[in-house]
């Protein structure tokens, strides 16, 4: 009799142990399932941009926490922003319009979200891409460039591509009819002064400084010519995003763009303060930086719409016509909307 009770107790104890083990396994399994459903951890969203004054209008408010987004952004300012994005080392960032066409042609998984920088300032559109020569030069019009040594800021840049294609389409001048000297933009005024080149296609701050120096003569305002022909000021660069990152983290891309727009708005409202800070840190004149951003170029972060898409596609077509790419990006695959 006692043995029967003992056996029953042992069975009950074994059942309790089994139930306890089952409950523990269920808890562990449920926890594991929930863990697997959680999105993978994501560090700061890395945004690659250029290192110039216009970029600090965007970066300064974020980096000094005047604008505090809900997500963490890491702004990487570098002259090699095209190369960084092509190599996949940024989640999103700025890429020249022609460079994006090259990346698309190579099958690099990038998508264009919006126009990043345009050659129109906050207040007026005096442009950036201009051809200059020395005062007293016999070069007066674009036709006079035939047979001349012309300095250009790289052979595959957006500005050089527009320059060469518009020379061909508007004036019938082929690329081979010029002697092209490709140099970094800051070197072009010095080469012009020394007589090593006859004319120079300039862009960015170098062009704006040259324009206001009174040492040189303007031969062609390329940005104004582009606007007259295609209805929009030059979309110099695009905001692009890594396609895989976009697919996995579209919400983060949206939040990042919202933060950039907020920071841009703050920066533009405090352009004088940022100009003084930038001049103290990097040299130059604060009033000049303000004038350049107000009258010549600016960060827009404008969505790609039916109205401005033709200008972007035109640069893609120019890039193909020069033989730099074999396929014009398909808007259905190349662009994404936020």
The whole-angstrom separation of Cα 240 and Cα 85 is 8
Domain span including residue 134: 130-230
Residue 25 belongs to a domain: no
> Does 10 score more than 70 pLDDT?
no
Q: Looking at the structure, do residues 246 and 304 belong to the same domain, yes or no?
A: yes
| Residues with Cβ within 8 Å of residue 13, at least 6 apart in sequence | none
Residues 293/271, Cβ–Cβ less than 8 Å: yes
Residue 35 counted as domain residue: no
Q: For position 42, what pLDDT does the model report? A: 63
What is the pTM for the complete model shown? 0.85
Per-residue pLDDT of 171-184, as tens digits, reads 999 999 999 999 99
**Domain harbouring 66, CATH code:** 3.40.190.10
Tokens of 42: 């994501």
How are strands ordered across the β-sheet holding 235-242?
73-77, 45-49, 92-96, 235-242, 110-118, 298-303
Please report the pLDDT score of residue 43 as a whole number: 84
Q: Is residue 142 part of a domain?
A: yes
Within-domain flag for 9: no
Task: Please give the pLDDT value at position 298.
Answer: 96
Beta-carbon contacts of residue 130 (< 8 Å; ≥ 6 apart)? 201, 202, 207, 210, 211, 218, 219, 220, 221, 222, 223
The reply to whether 166 and 114 lie within a common domain is no
Is 22 contained in some domain? Answer: no
Same domain, 136 and 212: yes
What's the mean pLDDT in 33-60? 77
pLDDT at 17: 53
Backbone angles phi, psi at 218, to 5 degrees: -80, 130
DSSP 44: P
Mean residue pLDDT of the chain comes to: 89
- From CA 192, how far away is CA 137, in angstroms rounded? 11
Looking at the structure, do residues 120 and 241 belong to the same domain, yes or no?
yes
Which of 230, 257, 275 finishes a domain? 230
Measured between alpha carbons, how far is 315 from 321 in angstroms, rounded to an integer? 10
Tell me the per-residue pLDDT of 115-126, one tens digit each, with 9 for 90 and over. 999 999 999 999
109 and 177 inside one domain? no
Q: Which of 95, 90, 88 is nearest to 116 (CA)?
A: 95
Which residue, 230, 251, 272, sits at the end of a domain?
Answer: 230
What's the pLDDT tens digit per position in 201-243?
999 889 999 999 989 999 999 999 999 999 999 999 999 999 9
DSSP string across 274-311: HHHHHHHHH-S-HHHHHHHHHHT-EEEEEE--HHHHHH
Report yes or no on 287 lying in a domain: yes
* Average pLDDT value for residue range 320-324: 97
- What residues form DSSP beta bridges with 218? 132
* Same domain as 116, residue 242: yes
**Residue 272 scores a pLDDT above 90:** yes
217 with 295, same domain? Answer: no
DSSP secondary-structure letter at 108? Answer: -
Share of the chain above pLDDT 70, in %: 88
In-domain check, residue 72: yes
pLDDT, tens only, 69-79:
999 999 999 98
Give the number of other Cβ atoms within 10 Å of residue 196's Cβ: 14
pLDDT of residue 338: 84
What pLDDT, on the 0 to 100 scale, is given for residue 33?
44
* Structure confidence at residue 37 (pLDDT): 46
Which of 209, 230, 251 terminates a domain? The answer is 230
pLDDT at position 14:
55
Q: How confident is the model at residue 20 (pLDDT cuts 50, 70, 90)?
A: very low
- Kindly state the average pLDDT of the residues 86-90: 93
User: Does residue 1 belong to any structural domain of this protein?
Assistant: no
Domains in the chain, number: 2
């Amino acid at each position: 009799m006692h043995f029967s009770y003992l056996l029953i107790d042992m069975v009950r104890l074994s059942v309790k142990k089994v139930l306890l083990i089952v409950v523990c396994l269920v808890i562990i399994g449920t926890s594991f399932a929930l863990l697997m459903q959680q999105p993978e951890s994501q560090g700061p969203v890395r945004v690659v941009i250029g290192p110039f004054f216009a970029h600090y209008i965007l970066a300064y408010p974020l980096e000094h926490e005047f604008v505090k987004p809900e997500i963490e952004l890491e702004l990487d300012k570098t002259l090699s922003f095209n190369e960084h994005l092509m190599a996949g080392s940024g989640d999103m960032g700025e890429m020249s319009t022609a460079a994006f066409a090259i990346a698309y042609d190579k099958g690099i998984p990038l998508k264009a979200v919006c126009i990043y920088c345009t050659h129109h300032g906050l207040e007026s559109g005096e442009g950036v891409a201009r051809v200059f020569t020395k005062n007293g030069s016999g070069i007066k019009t674009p036709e006079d460039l035939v047979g001349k040594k012309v300095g250009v800021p790289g052979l595959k840049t957006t500005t050089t591509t527009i320059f060469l294609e518009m020379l061909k389409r508007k004036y019938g001048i082929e690329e081979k009819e010029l002697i092209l000297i490709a140099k970094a933009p800051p070197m072009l005024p010095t080469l012009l002064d020394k007589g090593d080149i006859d004319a120079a296609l300039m862009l960015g701050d170098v062009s704006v400084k040259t324009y206001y120096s009174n040492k040189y003569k303007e031969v062609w305002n390329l940005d104004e010519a582009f606007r007259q022909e295609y209805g929009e000021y030059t979309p110099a660069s695009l905001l692009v995003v890594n396609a895989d990152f976009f697919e996995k983290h579209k919400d983060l891309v949206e939040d990042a763009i919202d933060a950039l727009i907020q920071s841009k708005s703050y920066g533009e409202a405090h352009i004088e303060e940022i100009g003084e800070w930038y001049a103290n840190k990097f040299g130059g004149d604060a009033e000049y930086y303000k004038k350049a951003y107000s009258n010549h170029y600016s960060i827009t972060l404008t969505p790609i719409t039916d109205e401005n898409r033709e200008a972007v596609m035109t640069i893609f077509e120019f890039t193909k016509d020069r033989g730099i790419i074999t396929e014009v990006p398909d808007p259905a695959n190349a662009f994404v909307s936020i």
